[in-house]
């Protein structure tokens, strides 16, 4: 009987590892490694997949890993298993971001997490033009609650002057990045029209860029090979629903929590029938990020700008094979 129970727990943790890999990540780098041990799943940062030009501090890498951690938690909750999360559990292993261990008693929040499991594979980063529909106030309140459960804040950009500030600073940040040859080279390395590739941003998931997108909050130009499949006209504007994932502090632990909050919010968005497009340029350039805090009167630290709305679905981005990501140490 003991061996049967152990096998069931191992299978549940293995499923959680698979669900973790469905998380979004910066440039679809999938910068994580997973290690399965008896009754625990460990999440590591994969520094070989870090964007050294765009993300020299590894903040976006750790946020991406936080998204994967949330998915693993959702999967275990959906299987009725209690879990304990130890974040940065070993100072001597800075790349060990989290250790998930099975516990006897479910957390009171886990039934809410469990409800998100069936939308993990439906969640998409959507770079299409969004329909002119408002996101209902009650849904925004739900999204804010979701972020708060992960020790983060979802700041809804309501005021017109704040919307203009977000648009102006986003445009400036995007211009600064595109003027950097090293940034453009890194971007080309993580975009592809090769259907066999299992990481990076594929041409089938990005708009074709010809200078007529009419964006005042720019969608990142992933069409580095001129082969984007999606329509050119994305019309990402300051009039759409905009929200910022923020944390009270700006440390690696808070970055991991921001990732957990981001994925929880994205799954809630999907559950309600909406889609989202992360627009992170404004938080990647330090001067733009500092000005964003100042002009929006934020006492928190912004990490990810989200555009939320309705749009037709797009093809899913590829994922690496589990043999490349997961190591099992069960003996």
Task: Give the pLDDT of residue 2.
Answer: 55
Q: Are residues 95 and 213 in the same domain?
A: no
Predicted confidence (pLDDT) per residue in 121-143, tens digit: 999 998 878 887 789 999 999 99
Confidence grade of residue 91 (pLDDT, cut at 50, 70, 90): very high
| Mean pLDDT of the region 89-116 | 90
- Is beta strand 32-37 parallel, antiparallel or unpaired with respect to 326-328? parallel
* Domain termination residue (choose one: 123, 157, 184): 123
Q: What is the pTM of this model?
A: 0.95
pLDDT of residue 170: 95
CATH classification of the domain holding 48? 3.40.109.10
Same structural domain for residues 114 and 233? no
Claim to verify: residue 87 and residue 184 sit in the same structural domain: no
At 302, give phi and psi (nearest 5°). Answer: -80, 145
Residues 6 and 50 in one domain: yes
Report the greatest alpha carbon distance in the chain.
Answer: 65
Would you say residue 130 lies in a domain? Answer: no
Identify the CA nearest to 75 among candidates 25, 122, 12: 12
DSSP 8-state assignment for residue 230? B
pLDDT given at position 133: 78
User: Does residue 172 sit in the same domain as residue 277?
Assistant: yes
pLDDT at 223: 77
Look at residue 5 in the predicted model and tell me its pLDDT: 64
Name which of 5-9, 29-33, 319-323 the model is least confident about: 5-9
Q: How far is CA 41 from CA 254, 320, 326, in A?
A: 21, 18, 10
Residues 276, 196, single domain; the answer is: yes
Q: Do the domain assignments include residue 314?
A: no
Question: 331 lies in a domain?
Answer: no
Residue 330: inside a domain: no
Predicted pLDDT of residue 272: 97
**Are residue 86 and residue 217 in the same domain, yes or no?**
no
Percent of the chain past pLDDT 70, that is, above it, reads 94
- pLDDT in the model for residue 1: 40
Q: What is the DSSP track for 56-70?
A: TT-HHHHHHHHHHHH
- 328 found inside a domain: no
- Whether residue 198 is contained in a domain is answered as yes
pLDDT in tens, 258-308: 999 999 999 999 999 999 999 999 999 999 999 999 999 999 999 999 999
- What's the mean per-residue pLDDT of the chain? 92
> Tokens in use for 313?
């679905």
Number of independent structural domains in the chain: 2
Can you tell me which residue has the tokens 């293995």?
14
Q: Is residue 320 part of a domain?
A: no
Task: Tell me, rounded to whole angstroms, the distance of Cα 321 from its chain centroid.
Answer: 19
Domain boundary pick from 66, 94, 123: 123
Same domain as 169, residue 145:
yes
Percent of the chain predicted with pLDDT > 90 = 75
pLDDT in tens, 202-261: 888 876 676 666 778 888 878 777 776 676 666 777 778 999 999 999 999 999 999 999
Q: How many CB atoms lie within 10 A of CB 121?
A: 11
pLDDT at 105 over 60: yes
For range 194-203, the mean pLDDT: 90
- Looking at the fold, whether 59 and 146 belong to one and the same domain comes out as no
| Domain span at 279 | 137-309
Lowest mean pLDDT segment, chosen from 26-30, 186-190, 225-229, 291-295: 225-229
DSSP one-letter string for 145-201: HHHHTTT-EEEE--SHHHHHHHHHHHHHHHHHHHT-HHHHHHHHHTEE--TT--SSE
Q: What is the mean pLDDT of residues 189-202?
A: 91
**Which segments of the chain are extended strands (E)?**
32-37, 40-45, 82-87, 96-103, 153-156, 191-192, 201-202, 241-247, 275-279, 301-309, 326-328
Q: Residue 10: helix, strand or coil by DSSP?
A: helix
């Amino acid at each position: 009987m003991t061996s049967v129970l152990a096998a069931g727990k191992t299978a549940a943790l293995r499923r959680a590892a698979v669900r973790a890999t469905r998380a979004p990540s910066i440039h679809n780098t999938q910068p994580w490694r997973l290690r399965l041990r008896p009754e625990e799943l460990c999440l590591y940062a994969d520094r070989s997949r870090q964007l050294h030009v765009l993300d020299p501090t590894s903040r976006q890498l750790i946020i991406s890993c936080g998204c994967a951690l949330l998915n693993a938690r959702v999967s275990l909750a959906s299987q009725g298993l209690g879990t304990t999360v130890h974040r940065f559990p070993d100072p001597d292993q800075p790349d060990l971001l989290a250790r998930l261990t099975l516990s006897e008693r479910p957390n009171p929040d886990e039934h809410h997490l469990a409800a998100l499991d069936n939308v993990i594979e439906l969640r998409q980063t959507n770079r299409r033009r969004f329909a002119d529909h408002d996101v209902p106030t009650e849904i925004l309140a739900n999204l804010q609650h979701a972020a708060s459960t992960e020790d983060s804040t979802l700041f809804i950009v309501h005021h017109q002057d704040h919307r203009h500030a977000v648009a102006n600073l986003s445009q400036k940040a995007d211009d600064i990045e595109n003027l950097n040859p090293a940034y453009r080279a890194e971007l080309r390395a993580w975009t592809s029209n090769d259907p066999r590739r299992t990481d990076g941003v594929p041409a089938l998931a990005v708009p074709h860029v010809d200078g007529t997108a009419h964006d005042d909050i720019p969608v990142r130009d992933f069409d580095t090979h001129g082969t984007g499949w999606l329509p050119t006209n994305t019309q990402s504007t300051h009039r759409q629903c905009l929200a910022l994932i923020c944390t009270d502090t700006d440390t690696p632990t808070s970055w991991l929590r921001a990732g957990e909050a981001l994925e929880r919010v994205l799954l809630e968005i999907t559950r309600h029938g909406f889609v989202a497009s992360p627009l992170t340029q404004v938080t990647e350039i330090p001067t733009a990020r500092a000005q964003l805090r100042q002009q929006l009167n934020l006492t928190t630290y912004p990490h990810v700008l989200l555009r939320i709305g309705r749009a037709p679905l797009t093809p899913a981005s590829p994922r690496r094979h589990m043999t490349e990501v997961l190591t099992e140490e069960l003996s």
